[in-house]
């Protein structure tokens, strides 16, 4: 396997990941599964990951994390004797394409788990139509969901309000710009952020939504516009390669080192793709970071390294969410509530209960709540504060 370096190809990394013996042991070919039909002896999970497109650089890490979870469950005897299998779908394509392919798996998989952009998420929600449980693991745009859709991530207010408050208090930031990709999640971030910033006595001096998906952003023009409005802070809801390109251009500009950037989508693989950052003013608010050092994260990293080696793609926040999503699907199955009708209430009960019985095959237990604020330090993200979620 190979690590994700700034010049690495996500396609070559995915090929290396898929060649892992651990991954091959739990992964099943989508077409073969459809032809063979349901298997009562297996707990099949449709794995929705971005293997291409703007978020393609995060997909390989998610595949390894899901494979780690499936391996742990199978080593513990499976779920009620059923071996866990993963059926991979590339969720980095256009929403309609992903939705059609996932719909073809209804009836042969027991649940879907994954992370991808929210435009794909909404298309999947419509296409699956409450017929099968669907665990969506990354930060999301908020709002109600159809039966069967389980959200493990945070809404914009819960994710970002504590981070913005922390930064305003310590840096006296008064002039905020909002820069994101033009689809559902960044639009929701902009709506929430405007209220958060104004509630702290600051102002939004500029907003920008860049075409998505597209051939790439004009990062130089965006940075020049930020200089013209004299922003002292930028909230970034760009994703994947667009976020990496923006940060690469920004660090070479006169704004670097004196304008704070905060992202709700930056993780270690994205920072590596940007070439790192030594400005001291790039921050990320996420559920977890690779180097945060708490007992749960250290133990998870050790198990990940034992299976995949030290040169595997970094186990980032998106990947940890996917890991937790696979274990949640197994816990719901063990509790006999892995159905579209029961999944939402079942998840709430499992996360609120101290009973570890349903999580018997999960060494890390249930997913963590809350998050952290981290600052870029070269190629690493260093945790500087825990974040207590607020808002709906």
Question: Does the pLDDT at position 9 exceed 70?
Answer: no
Q: Between the ranges 11-20, 52-61, 335-344, where is the mean pLDDT highest?
A: 335-344
Reported confidence tier of residue 133, pLDDT bands at 50, 70, 90:
very high
Which residue matches tokens 């816990």? 331
Report residue 78 CA to chain centroid gap. Answer: 26
Rounded-to-integer distance, Cα 309 and Cα 300, Å: 13
Contact 326, 69 (CB under 8 A): yes
Contact 125, 149 (CB under 8 A): yes
The pLDDT assigned to 230 comes to 97
Which of 14-23, 76-85, 112-121, 179-188 is predicted least confidently?
14-23
User: What percent of the chain stands above pLDDT 70?
Assistant: 94
The pLDDT assigned to 54 comes to 85
Per-residue pLDDT averaged across 164-168, rounded?
Answer: 96
- Token readout for 83 is 């071996």
Fold entry, domain 156-286+371-387: Rossmann fold (3.40.50)
The pLDDT assigned to 368 comes to 86
The pLDDT assigned to 353 comes to 84
Question: Closest Cα partner for 360 from 385, 330, 323?
Answer: 330
8-state DSSP, 259: S
Reported confidence tier of residue 292, pLDDT bands at 50, 70, 90:
confident
Question: Does the pLDDT at position 112 exceed 80?
Answer: yes
Q: What are phi and psi of 83, to 5 degrees?
A: -75, 140
Per-residue pLDDT averaged across 215-240, rounded?
Answer: 96
Question: Closest Cα partner for 45 from 19, 66, 60, 72?
Answer: 66
Burial of 207 (0-12, 13-18, 19+ CB in 10 A): middle
Rounded-to-integer distance, Cα 125 and Cα 366, Å: 24
Question: Does the pLDDT at position 72 exceed 80?
Answer: yes
Question: Closest Cα partner for 111 from 319, 322, 334, 338?
Answer: 338
Question: Does the pLDDT at position 182 exceed 80?
Answer: yes
Report residue 82 CA to chain centroid gap. Answer: 27
Helix or strand run (H / E) with residue 286:
strand 282-286
Rounded-to-integer distance, Cα 70 and Cα 203, Å: 47
Question: Does the pLDDT at position 175 exceed 70?
Answer: yes
Per-residue pLDDT averaged across 158-166, rounded?
Answer: 96
Mean residue pLDDT across the chain: 92
The pLDDT assigned to 66 comes to 97
- Token readout for 15 is 């090929």
The pLDDT assigned to 60 comes to 93
Contact 372, 286 (CB under 8 A): yes
Report residue 98 CA to chain centroid gap. Answer: 17
- Token readout for 110 is 């027991």
- Going from N- to C-terminal start, the domains of the chain cover 10-154+294-359, 156-286+371-387
Same fold for the pair 10-154+294-359 and 156-286+371-387: yes
Contact 344, 149 (CB under 8 A): yes
Q: What is the largest CA-CA distance in the chain?
A: 63
Contact 198, 323 (CB under 8 A): no
Fold entry, domain 10-154+294-359: Rossmann fold (3.40.50)
Contact 227, 234 (CB under 8 A): no
Rounded-to-integer distance, Cα 269 and Cα 259, Å: 23
Question: Does the pLDDT at position 4 exceed 60?
Answer: no
Rounded-to-integer distance, Cα 389 and Cα 392, Å: 9
Reported confidence tier of residue 293, pLDDT bands at 50, 70, 90:
confident
Rounded-to-integer distance, Cα 362 and Cα 340, Å: 22
Per-residue pLDDT averaged across 71-93, rounded?
Answer: 96
Burial 124-136 (b: 16+ CB within 10 A, else e): bbebbebebbbbb
The pLDDT assigned to 369 comes to 84
User: What percent of the chain stands above pLDDT 90?
Assistant: 84
Which of 76-85, 133-142, 144-153, 345-354 is predicted least confidently?
345-354
The pLDDT assigned to 129 comes to 85
Rounded-to-integer distance, Cα 2 and Cα 35, Å: 33
Burial of 71 (0-12, 13-18, 19+ CB in 10 A): middle
Q: 16 or 150, which is more confident?
A: 150
Contact 85, 42 (CB under 8 A): yes
pLDDT in tens, 333-392: 999 999 999 999 999 999 988 677 889 889 999 998 889 999 999 999 999 999 976 666
Question: Does the pLDDT at position 16 exceed 60?
Answer: no
Question: Closest Cα partner for 286 from 244, 236, 249?
Answer: 236
The pLDDT assigned to 19 comes to 59
8-state DSSP, 357: G
Rounded-to-integer distance, Cα 338 and Cα 330, Å: 8
The vertex-47 CA angle with 328 and 333, nearest 5°, equals 30
């Amino acid at each position: 396997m190979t690590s994700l370096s700034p010049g690495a190809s996500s396609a070559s990394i995915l090929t290396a990941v898929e060649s892992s013996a651990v991954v091959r042991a739990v992964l099943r070919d989508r077409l073969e599964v459809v032809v063979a039909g349901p298997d009562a002896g297996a707990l099949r999970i449709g794995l929705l990951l971005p293997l291409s497109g703007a978020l393609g650089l995060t997909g390989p890490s998610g595949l390894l994390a899901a494979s780690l979870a499936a391996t742990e469950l199978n080593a513990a005897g499976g779920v009620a004797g059923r071996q866990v299998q993963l059926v991979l779908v590339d969720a980095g394509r256009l929403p309609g394409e992903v939705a059609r392919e996932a719909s073809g798996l209804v009836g042969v998989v027991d649940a879907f788990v994954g992370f991808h952009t929210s435009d794909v998420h909404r298309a999947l929600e419509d296409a699956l139509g409450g017929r099968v449980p669907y665990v969506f693991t990354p930060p999301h745009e908020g709002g109600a969901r159809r039966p069967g859709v389980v959200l493990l991530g945070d809404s914009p207010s819960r994710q970002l309000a504590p981070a913005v408050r922390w930064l305003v208090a310590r840096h006296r930031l008064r002039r905020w710009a909002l820069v994101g990709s033009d689809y559902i999640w960044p639009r929701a971030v902009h709506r929430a952020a405007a209220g958060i910033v104004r509630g702290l006595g600051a102002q939004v001096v500029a907003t920008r939504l860049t075409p998505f998906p597209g051939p790439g952003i004009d990062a130089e023009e965006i940075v020049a516009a930020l200089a013209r409005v004299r922003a002292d802070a930028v909230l970034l809801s760009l994703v994947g390669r667009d976020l990496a390109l923006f940060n690469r251009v920004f660090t070479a500009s006169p704004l670097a080192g004196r304008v704070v950037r905060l992202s709700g989508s930056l993780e270690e693989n994205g920072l590596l793709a940007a070439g790192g950052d030594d400005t001291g003013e790039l921050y990320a608010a996420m559920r977890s970071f690779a180097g945060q050092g708490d007992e749960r994260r250290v133990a998870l990293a050790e198990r990940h390294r034992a299976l995949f080696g030290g040169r595997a793609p970094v186990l980032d926040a998106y990947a940890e969410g996917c890991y937790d999503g696979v274990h949640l699907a197994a816990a719901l199955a063990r509790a006999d509530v892995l159905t579209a009708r029961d999944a939402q209430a079942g998840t709430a009960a499992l996360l609120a209960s101290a009973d570890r019985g349903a999580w018997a095959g999960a060494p890390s237990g249930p997913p963590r709540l809350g998050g952290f604020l981290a600052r870029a330090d070269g190629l690493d993200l260093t945790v500087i504060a825990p974040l207590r979620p607020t808002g709906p």
